[in-house]
Amino acid sequence: MRMTNKIMQNNSLYNINNNKELTNKLSTQMSTKKKLTRPSDDPVVAIRALRLRSDVSQVTQFYERNAKDGASWLKVTGDALETTSEILKSMVGLCTQGAVKDFDASNIAIIIAQLKELKGEFYSTGNVDYAGRYMFTGYRTDTPLTFMENLPENPDDSAYRKFEITEQLDVSAIDTINYTHIGDLKGVSKESYDPGVDGVAEEEADITNSDIHRIRLSYDAIKADNNNKPTITVITEADKQAAALNGTPPAETVLIAPADMEVVSSTAVPNPYDYVLANPGKAVLIPETGELLIGEDMYNNNVPAISGMEPSTEIRITYEKDSWKKGDMQPQHYFACKDTTDPNKVIEYNHAEYVDSTVNPPVTTKFIPCDKVTQFIEYDVGYNQRIRVNTTANEVFTMDMDRNIDDMENALAKLEEIEAIKKDLDRMLDGMDPKHPDYANLKATYDAAEKAHTYIRENMQKMMEGLITKTQKISDFTSLAITDNGTRASRLDLISNRLMTQKSTFETLQSANEDIDVTEVTVQLTSMDYSYQSALMATGKILQNSLMNYI
């Protein structure tokens, strides 16, 4: 093969250019500290780099964002739960003081006032938020647990709210309360005393003490009258199982028919308690206090399902409420309910959907499931790993506390009333001659008041003792929530440690796959620079000669 000067020039320039390209590649690697500038440099390394970058990005999201956000949420929740635990301990201590039998109404009033303040703080703790999100309200993180102000009862006001609430209760919701009938006992004075007119001539036999079966609703001041009565139904365990199997709404049976229920105001004469004692075959609803009283005959005979219900039987009571005061719990966090403020735009909460495909086109309806709808907020904190970060309101901030204090206030009012009557009668008797014609009549009335006071005071003491147990039960729920929250926090700590290790491992692999060995590349770049300089010198000498030198 004949080698010409032109061929030698071309080969020399080609080799110098290759040398320059390699020098440029090494120089780029030194600048970027990366092996690749484009996927074609090494497809295998490029593919591995994409995978490792994806792994690092995911682990970084889990570790630096999700896990830390979840840990913060759990920390704030834990602090709030610890606060509620301390509040409940203080309430138990106050109830223990209030259970002292020698305390009169004034002493108990002080204790109940303190309990009310603690109760308000208890529910206020449920409004704690994290980064603008309320922590105990499930998915509705933009809605506080309680109403933050008194709402108007005028439907024309823009702030007016009306709900149709369905409470899902079990047999334990039926409790028994004690009621003392004081007859016509009332306060008197020396100036106005007239036995014939005032009717104070009560006797001990007129004072009776009775137990009444009751279902206490979660709210007082409900909207009801004899033209607008609550609906009360039951769902048996068999109904629940059939509904769960078929995915259909559960069958409901009427428990108390509207004809067997009377709506009686707390200010009516006779009062609701006397009414239900006089009509044992009836049920009585007191709208002001949110109590459903069940007559003895109805409890035992008229509705056998009440006294013979299985523990798993569900009792549903549906009623309306449009009177809301500051501190009231918002019903959508606890119950299946409907916001019926605007009849043309009813909003349903905590309902399930049933699709009836037997008709064409299929019809979708909403119904209340037997199992209450839970709203757990979960964070992705790893590959196929999720952890729940929220605690729902009904796990801690039960309605019982508010209603228990309401019962205590009502009992205190009765105790204050009978103590005032006793004081009036005692003043009348003080200094009165036993031979006075009114003495025997007044003394009999005083003895009746003494008997009523004994009943009411003993009931008050029992209620205080019962409140200790009820508050301790709520405290147990709180302790369980604290333990559950702490367990999830501990689990998240373990996951975070593992994520930190994974992140370090993936970053090391990513660096080994993508990053250059600076020492090695420096040596190669220096070597290529020498080669380049040598090639220039050699090419310069070769290109000095041409064919003319041989002619």
pLDDT at position 531: 78
In a domain, 434, yes or no: no
Cα-Cα-Cα-Cα dihedral sign, residues 237, 243, 249, 254 = negative
- Do the beta carbons of residue 339 and residue 307 sit within 8 Å? no
Instruction: Round to whole Å and give the CA distance between 233 and 95.
Output: 36
**pLDDT tens-digit series, residues 121-165:** 999 999 999 888 999 999 999 999 999 999 999 999 999 999 999
pLDDT > 60? residue 547: no
Task: Count other C-beta atoms under 10 Å from residue 216's C-beta.
Answer: 22
Band (295; pLDDT cuts 50, 70, 90): very high
Nearest to 290 by CA among 218, 213, 234: 218
Percent of the chain scored above 90 by pLDDT?
A: 51
- Long-range pairs of 261-269 with CB within 8 A, sequence gap ≥ 24: 261/229, 261/230, 261/232, 261/285, 262/226, 263/224, 263/225, 263/226, 263/229, 263/287
CA 69 to chain centre: 20
Question: DSSP letters along 483-505, please?
Answer: HHHHHHHHHHHHHHHHHHHHHHH
pLDDT at position 477: 92
In a domain, 278, yes or no: yes
**pLDDT tens-digit series, residues 90-131:** 999 999 998 888 888 999 999 999 999 999 999 999 999 988
In a domain, 38, yes or no: no
pLDDT at position 294: 95
In a domain, 539, yes or no: no
Residue 15, exposed/middle/buried by CB under 10 A (0-12, 13-18, 19+)?
A: middle
Of residues 363 and 379, the one with the higher pLDDT is 379
Lowest mean pLDDT among 255-259, 402-406, 438-442, 488-492: 438-442
> How does strand 336-339 pair with strand 314-321?
unpaired
Structural domains counted in the chain: 1
In a domain, 340, yes or no: yes
Residue listed under structure tokens 């004075």: 189
Q: State the average pLDDT over residues 317-326.
A: 96
The vertex-373 CA angle with 371 and 379, nearest 5°, equals 130
Q: Is 414 left (phi over 0), alpha (psi -120 to 50) or beta?
A: alpha
Instruction: Round to whole Å and give the CA distance between 475 and 471.
Output: 6
Q: Which domain holds residue 296?
A: 161-374
In a domain, 101, yes or no: no
**pLDDT tens-digit series, residues 166-215:** 999 988 899 999 999 988 777 665 555 555 555 456 778 888 999 999 99
In a domain, 108, yes or no: no
In a domain, 542, yes or no: no
Percent of the chain scored above 70 by pLDDT?
A: 89
pLDDT at position 195: 54
Instruction: Round to whole Å and give the CA distance between 220 and 169.
Output: 17
In whole numbers, what is the pLDDT of the chain averaged over residues?
86
